[in-house]
Copies of this chain bind each other. A is one copy, B any other.
Amino acid sequence: MKPTITPRKQPKQARSQAMVETILAAATRVLTTRGYARTNTNAVAEEADISVGSLYQYFPNKDAIIAALHQRHAQQMRDLIRQTLADLNHTRPSLKSAMQQLIQAWMQAHQLAPELHHILESDTPVFAQPNSNDKAEEQIVFNEVTQFLHHYQSELPPTALPLTTYLVIKTIESLVHAIVIDPPEGLSPQALEEGILAMVMGYLHRANR
């Protein structure tokens, strides 16, 4: 029923790519200023200083814009995480230090564009399931974390790694999200970050008890 939400043209040419960026930037501004309900294609086009017609040259419909925004933002966050994971694979610090860096990376990822992130998570409808590309990317991060934890396997309790990975990722992700979106009063960012680390390390080291 709902038409595709993937970009109409693969922006291979620099010109198109620039246009897409312009539109997404405009959409970000409109979205964060007015919220999803008041965001409409005409406003985005105007903000991008192009005509609606041109906008539809690059996106098949309104939701495709939001989807692209979502995707781009998620990609940027993932890139940051993956970069950190790559670094850790080189430096190979202690598990605790590694976890600390990972948590910090996640924190930074959430702070790339906190307003947009907030709106995308809370004010914007989900369009179908995250598409297969997203799923795949998500899986890559999952695999990389699994691999990464594998290096520390000797320190870990003999739980199946996938479960460990899943819980570690979700815990970090969720707690960071909660802290950034709705910072609890009376608890310092510092203490919260240490708390997350304690949570994850407590889990990873529980077997030693």
Q: Does A14 contact B (CB under 8 A)?
A: no
Is B163's CB under 8 angstroms from A174's CB? no
Specify which chain B residues have a CB less than 8 angstroms from the CB of A122 in the assembled complex: 125-126
Tell me if A's interface is mostly helix, strand, loop or mixed.
helix
B160, B166, B191: the one contacting A163 at CB < 8 Å is B191
Which residues of the other chain, B, contact A170 by a CB distance below 8 angstroms? 174-175, 178
For the complex, give the distance between the alpha carbons of A201 and B206 in Å.
8
In the assembled complex, the Cα of A186 lies from the Cα of B202 at a distance in Å of 24
- A187: chain B residues at CB < 8 Å are 162-163, 166
Inter-chain CA distance A189–B163, complex, in Å, is 11
Residues of chain B contacted by A164 (CB below 8 angstroms): 195
| In the complex with contacts A162-B186, A170-B175, A198-B206 CB distance below 8 A | yes
Q: Does any Cβ of B come within 8 Å of A141's Cβ? A: no
Q: Measured between alpha carbons, how far is A192 from B165 in the docked complex, in Å?
A: 12
Contacts A175-B174, A202-B203 known; A123 to B123 CB distance under 8 Å? no
Contacts of A93 in B (CB 8 A): none
- Interface 0/1 of A164-176, CB less than 8 Å to B: 1011001100110
22 chain-A/chain-B pairs, Cβ below 8 angstroms: A35-B125, A37-B125, A122-B126, A123-B125, A123-B126, A124-B125, A159-B195, A160-B191, A162-B187, A163-B191, A166-B195, A167-B198, A174-B174, A174-B177, A174-B178, A198-B203, A198-B206, A199-B202, A199-B203, A201-B202, A202-B206, A208-B209
